[in-house]
Amino acid sequence: MEDFMEQMKIMFDMDDVLVSGGFLYLINSYLGTHYTESDFKTYYMQDIVPDKEAFFEYFLQHNLYDYATVTEGATELLKELNEHHKVYIGTSYIIPEVVSKSGVLLDYKYQFLTRTFPFLDPNRFVFLGDKSVLQCDVKVDDKLSNLENADTKILYTAYHNLDLADSVIEEYGAVRANDMQEVKRLILKK
């Protein structure tokens, strides 16, 4: 890309887009189970846990990002896009069952992002609950409602949106991407 090209504002979601597995690891560790992502169809994995209060006590004592995996191709794509565009990380830190204690996730997320993607500007990390307030040229997220206020809306495939009909995605003005190569193609096409 040439310098004369206009810089785009591109927002990436963190959980289930750039990184995954940590929450599932803690559920399995707590329950003594061997669930995989394909065992879940709803957005909140914790719906499977019978005693949510006890689980979240356990959960908050562990940094889920110590057990998370970076999505294949994410580091390279972020690095490439960051050379020519303004790359933002828009990530929610609110857990409905423990709203008043969710602040601990801010530190976990911040430390993970700065350690894993040191080339990104921490001033472009946005920690929030409602992502519709962010206006960007491109948004990449695993939840349709988080794609509001973007010219290009990319729904990243995750365990909980696999069954979402193409017609619903299209009606929302979004396109689906199954991996980082597809994300790259859709962003550069813009």
- For the segment 143-178, what is each residue's pLDDT rounded down to a tens digit? 999 999 999 999 999 999 999 999 999 999 999 999
C-alpha distances in Å from residue 140, one per residue of 1, 50, 88: 20, 32, 10
- Both tokens of residue 61? 């004592």
Please check the confidence at residue 5 and state whether its pLDDT lies above 70: no
pTM over 0.85: yes
The whole-number pLDDT of residue 6 equals 79
**84-121 pLDDT, tens digit each:** 999 999 999 999 999 999 999 999 999 999 999 999 99
Give 181's pLDDT tier (boundaries 50, 70, 90): very high
